[in-house]
Structure 1
Amino acid sequence: MSSTTVTLDVPTPAGQVWQLIGGFGSLPDWLPYITESRLGEGGRVRTLTNEDGGVIVERLESFDESAHSYVYSIARAPFPVTGYRSTLKVVDLGADGSRVEWSGTFTPDGVTDAEATALFEGIYRDGLAALEKTLDV
């Protein structure tokens, strides 16, 4: 099993960041390459459409409002991995703002550990760069 984590520190209060990214269906609000998010099964499954028309289906595994975090898994996606689980979390840094942590674990399928890790590091890094731009910090 492989894993990776990417973080972003911003001068924005944790509650404000969580307000933007904490909704399981909120990816299109801050991630430009996700153009649509449809929720199903009472909000526990999201069907995402990317700018190329690709579809990713993810399941909410746990949600903790007070800890500003949620965990999700991939049910269907064009990624060369199995057993994918990811956590998106906002940590309060007090007067310094907050830290956004995006991490994942997965088993590469048909690619090397390094290739799978690089793929998700890139996705997380690009996603957090988009979040930073959305926050306009």
Structure 2
Amino acid sequence: MTQVRVVQHLANPADLVWAMVGDFGGLHRWHPQVRSVDLSWEGRIRTVHYADGSRAVERLEARSDAMRRYVYVVVDGKVPVNNCRATLHVKDSKGGSTVMWSCEFEPLGDGEASASESLQAHYHEGLKALASALDGP
């Protein structure tokens, strides 16, 4: 399994960050690549519509508001991977909070480097935009 992990330190309190990140259907509110999100199956399946016209289908596997963490599996998407299991986790840290977005996956064919780079860039861009969204206009 290949792993990708991006960490963002924020000045905002963890509960405030979790209020935004913890909304499984709210990715479009802070990630600049996401145009919209459709929820189905009682909020456990999200279809993510990207600005480039592509989409991904993701299934919520586990969620803990007490731990400020959720785990989801990518069912279908544009990145050439199998068995992609991702985690978004917000923790208290000195002077604010830390957000960790990570995943493990099996690359399709010889696309490990490109899949890793694509996911890393997606997570990094999202967490950077999250920081801006929390700071307000």
Whole-Å separation in 2 of the counterparts to 1:37 and 1:24:
9
Larger relative helix fraction = 1
Q: Point out where structure 2 has 5 or more consecutive residues left out of the alignment.
A: none
Whole-Å separation in 1 of the counterparts to 2:88 and 2:11:
18
Is 1:100 aligned to 2:99, yes or no? yes
Whole-Å separation in 2 of the counterparts to 1:69 and 1:45:
17
Whole-Å separation in 2 of the counterparts to 1:33 and 1:87:
18
Aligned equivalent of 1:122: 121
Deviation of residue 127 (structure 1)?
0.9
Native 8 Å contact 2:7 2:101 kept in 1: yes
Matches within 5 A, 1:1-137: 1-94=1-94, 96-136=95-135
Q: Secondary structure at the match of 2:122?
A: helix
Counterpart amino acid of residue 62 in structure 1? A
Whole-Å separation in 1 of the counterparts to 2:15 and 2:29:
16
Figure out how many residues of one structure are paired with residues of the other and give that number.
Answer: 136
Identity of aligned pairs, percent? 38
Deviation of residue 107 (structure 1)?
0.6
Q: Secondary structure at the match of 1:43?
A: coil
Whole-Å separation in 2 of the counterparts to 1:93 and 1:43:
30
106-115 or 62-71: which moved more? 106-115
Q: Secondary structure at the match of 1:73?
A: strand
Counterpart amino acid of residue 80 in structure 1? P
- TM-score of the superposition, structure 2-length normalised? 0.94
Native 8 Å contact 1:3 1:104 kept in 2: yes
Q: Point out where structure 1 has 5 or more consecutive residues left out of the alignment.
A: none
Deviation of residue 112 (structure 1)?
3.7
Counterpart amino acid of residue 79 in structure 2? F
Whole-Å separation in 2 of the counterparts to 1:33 and 1:10:
21
Deviation of residue 116 (structure 1)?
2.0
Counterpart amino acid of residue 18 in structure 1? W
Native 8 Å contact 1:80 1:111 kept in 2: no
Q: 4+ residue stretches of structure 1 with deviation over 4 A?
A: none
- TM-score of the superposition, structure 1-length normalised? 0.94
